[in-house]
Chains A and B, each alone.
Chain A
Amino acid sequence: MLSVRVFFKKQGALSYISHLDLNRAVLRAFARSELPVVYSEGFNPHPRLTFSQPMSLFQESLTEIFDFKVDPDIPYDEIQNKLSAALPKALEITKVAAPVKKLTEITYALYYITIMGDTAKVADILKGEIVVFRSTKSKSEYVDISNQIKSADVINIDGGVRIEAVLSTSPTDYLNPQYIIDYLSKNIEAFDSKILRVKMYDSDMKEFE
């Protein structure tokens, strides 16, 4: 049995596809690829497929991950070729390799958050407390998300800013970058935002592999 980690880009058309739909698209690609994907045991067996922390609709990423297993073992480049041919064109695989660390060890991610607005004002806001209303399945509350922002550089670009932010991105401590945009839009004149996930890191800020 061989563990497989697939790195892929979620850009363009794919950013309009929900995580659930993407998950299904990959399952169907498995079936088309005829790779010997390992299934779960039990009453309703299905391929064992695990994704890294999913992104919301409209957000893009250069570095998404899904893991699965094959049995018997086959070379990674063969897996990449077969899977690429079976996936929708928009889903671009960048690397297929053995997993180095567990997906749960992803701790941070670098995002490029672009937004049209005043650079100084954005930088100013990001220095202070950022209290947002966050609702999850279990509770809804006001929280300060500033401690989930590990770092944030504000860079002036044409007509707006690019915030290069490292945010908490672990399964237990995850900050959706949209909260930052919502907060900015509420407090200053800011519009036309875009979110791009650029890199993922482990707890030592080493690039996740």
Chain B
Amino acid sequence: MKLKFNLNLFEKILNNVDKPGRYIGGEFGETVKSKIDGEVSVAFCFPDTYEIGMSNLGMKILYGALNAEDFIRCERCFAPWIDMEAQLRENNLPLFTLESKTPLSEFDVVAFSMQYELCYTNVLNMLSLADIPLLAKDRDESYPLILGGGHCTYNSEPMADFFDIISIGEGEIVLPSLMGLYRQCRDEGVLKQEFLQRATKVDGMYVPSLYEVEYKDDGTLKSFTPKNGAPAKITKAIVENLDEAYYPSNPIVPYLSTIHDRIMLEVFRGCIRGCRFCQAGMVYRPYREKSADKLNLLAVDCVKNTGYNEISLLSLSISDYSELPKLTDEMLKWTDEKKINISLPSMRVDSFYKDLMEKVMSVRQSGITFAPEAGSQRLRDVINKNISEEDILKACDVAFAGGKDAIKLYFINGLPTETDEDIVAIPQLAKKIVDHYFASPYRQKGKSISVTVSVSCFVPKPFTPFQWFGQNNIEELIRKQKLLSTSIESKRISHKWHEAKVSRLEAIFSRGNRRLSEVLVEAHRRGMRFDSWDEFYDYSKWIQIFDDCGVAMSFYAEREIPFDELLPWDHIDCGVSKEFLIKEAKKSIEGTVTPDCRTQCSGCGANKLGGVRRCCL
């Protein structure tokens, strides 16, 4: 018997949970459509809390793009917090959408946006709360189509068994097409299996059940074979012209304060830089920009429609935007008067100049963040960061001149070829900045400086030149963190680090194959969820689960993979070619850098996807 939704009961349980505003919808800008004949209904699910999901730009874009179609009714659902989950289970209430309080199981399509690997257990938990069988093979025609998308889908193999379709790449054009196909097939009385085969004709649609996987005795892939006419390679979908693509200028304005509670203006997609550890820098290629004129108009609309007083210009590296001076000048003509702040996250040190800082930095912010990623020049060359110590100190000068007295630096521990000298170079660099401050003419009387060194652990990611390199084991990562800590010689330098135990699980699922679905089912059975939340992450439980499933964690996280091995994600084509990635991996070992895509085309292959590009012109 399917669970029914009881509105009275729902109102009662709201009284028993923290932050009930997470579950009620009704925010300004929400789209509430009435159910109509012939519609395709989509429950768009974000497998984390409301505050995190509502900060996700992808969700805003797709919610708007889907609802822009008359025949699509798209509603939202987020992972209920632990207290709400307990209430739902106790009262036999199914998971529901915010807009119409409809159980997920009553939708035609249930779509999950997967942005990080540690949300996988939440996806399963949400399916179970919705009373929907986890495995695609266990769901008959009566269940909704389960669709996956988001950043993780470049290697979604650990989740492959749970999804009917996984949408690879940018969804704002292809998802409405897929919904159109769904409606057409329903009208024709076509069954799910036939629909799935037809769906493979829509750009970027990957139907995991149409592939046969064979393994070798050592656990590596032997073959990955398409069935029933499915394509051997699934090429990601892209938006060719960002100026013409749908963009949400009237996003929902939440009551609750969310993580990014401001206007998010997407400036460009892709990156010209090519840092070798960075997945986003590879999979979002080719580099495509929105024009400054279009962005300025969008910004005006967004402010008018939302009432926000902050606009964040989003991209992977904002200073690479070719029209940045024009855009900021145009915006400042009206934002100052309206008391609206512009913020530029992701600023590179080699392009942080005074003029820009004065334009966009709020006087109230005392600090600024840069990401050198590695302490030594040698290692920065290995990862192709393409910045020098001089660049870093110059950027700090600009910051000091602007009255900033707190510098935060991001680094990665455990990068390929890293030695103890590279680790010690991190606090040394921080010390140089401290010394630089005291020698600086901009030093303010009676003021001091604080430098925060924030260190994460290297996670090998699919579709990066570093995908073949292993992650350091836990002991080694912890040893390196300690070495770094004890090498700090100044009171003005503080050290923060990311838990190695969390990064290890990320690495496992990042490079995972379909054998991990069994581990995920078991993890779900044992109540694992919210793994990206410190208070719920339990590494010892994960060790037990992998052990009990007979799956070796080190095989996925630590192993160095030979270039000629068949990878679990080789059937996905993100644009950038494997040959390019191999070439980059080899150059990294030699410590040879590759110039950015504007200086010289490095032949990554993403230009074959077309689009209005601003790289390799």
Contacts from A to B (Cβ < 8 Å):
13, 16-18, 21-22, 24-25, 27-32, 34, 39, 44-45, 57-58, 86-90, 192
Contacts A22-B255, A29-B307, A89-B26 supplied; 6 other A-B pairs, CB < 8 Å: A21-B257, A28-B306, A31-B303, A32-B28, A39-B339, A90-B26
Find out whether the CB atom of B307 lies under 8 angstroms from the CB atom of A28.
yes
Judge whether B115 is part of the interface by a CB distance below 8 angstroms.
no
| Count of chain B residues near A, Cβ 8 A | 25
Beta-carbon contacts of B301-316 to A below 8 Å, as 1s and 0s? 0011111110000000
Judge whether B21 is part of the interface by a CB distance below 8 angstroms.
yes
What chain A residues lie within 8 Å of B582 (beta carbons)? none
Query: Closest 3 CB pairs between A and B?
Result: A28-B307, A31-B307, A16-B20
Find out whether the CB atom of A13 lies under 8 angstroms from the CB atom of B24.
yes
What chain A residues lie within 8 Å of B253 (beta carbons)? 25, 28
- Nearest chain-B residue to A26 (Cβ)? B307
Q: Could you tell me the distance in whole angstroms from the C-beta of A116 to the nearest C-beta in chain B? A: 12
Query: Assuming A17-B21, A21-B256, A44-B364, is B15 touching A58 (CB within 8 A)?
Result: yes
Contact residues of B: prevailing secondary structure: loop
Q: Within the assembled complex, what's the spacing in Å between the Cα atoms of A66 and B257?
A: 21
Q: Within the assembled complex, what's the spacing in Å between the Cα atoms of A183 and B302?
A: 48
Find out whether the CB atom of B28 lies under 8 angstroms from the CB atom of A88.
yes
What chain A residues lie within 8 Å of B23 (beta carbons)? 16
What chain B residues lie within 8 Å of A30 (beta carbons)? 307
What chain A residues lie within 8 Å of B364 (beta carbons)? 44
- Nearest chain-A residue to B32 (Cβ)? A89
Can you list 21 pairs linking A and B with CB atoms under 8 Å apart?
A16-B21, A16-B23, A16-B24, A17-B21, A18-B21, A21-B255, A21-B256, A22-B255, A24-B255, A25-B253, A25-B255, A31-B308, A31-B309, A31-B338, A32-B304, A32-B305, A32-B306, A58-B14, A86-B307, A87-B28, A88-B28
Report which of A24, A27, A87, A90 forms a contact with B257, defined as CB distance below 8 A: A24
- Nearest chain-B residue to A18 (Cβ)? B21
Judge whether B25 is part of the interface by a CB distance below 8 angstroms.
yes
Q: Could you tell me the distance in whole angstroms from the C-beta of A88 to the nearest C-beta in chain B? A: 4
Q: Within the assembled complex, what's the spacing in Å between the Cα atoms of A18 and B23?
A: 14
What chain B residues lie within 8 Å of A89 (beta carbons)? 26
What chain A residues lie within 8 Å of B12 (beta carbons)? 192
Q: Within the assembled complex, what's the spacing in Å between the Cα atoms of A32 and B364?
A: 25
Q: Could you tell me the distance in whole angstroms from the C-beta of A28 to the nearest C-beta in chain B? A: 3
Judge whether B538 is part of the interface by a CB distance below 8 angstroms.
no
- Nearest chain-B residue to A28 (Cβ)? B307
Q: Could you tell me the distance in whole angstroms from the C-beta of A195 to the nearest C-beta in chain B? A: 11
Find out whether the CB atom of B307 lies under 8 angstroms from the CB atom of A32.
yes
Q: Within the assembled complex, what's the spacing in Å between the Cα atoms of A64 and B590?
A: 69
Give the residues from 290 to 335 in chain B that come closer than 8 angstroms, CB to CB, to chain A.
Answer: 303-309
- Nearest chain-B residue to A44 (Cβ)? B364
Report which of B15, B25, B338 forms a contact with A13, defined as CB distance below 8 A: B25
What chain B residues lie within 8 Å of A18 (beta carbons)? 21
What chain A residues lie within 8 Å of B24 (beta carbons)? 13, 16
- Nearest chain-A residue to B15 (Cβ)? A58
Find out whether the CB atom of A21 lies under 8 angstroms from the CB atom of B21.
yes
Report which of A22, A27, A45, A58 forms a contact with B307, defined as CB distance below 8 A: A27
Report which of A28, A31, A39, A88 forms a contact with B26, defined as CB distance below 8 A: A88
Judge whether B435 is part of the interface by a CB distance below 8 angstroms.
no
Judge whether B27 is part of the interface by a CB distance below 8 angstroms.
yes
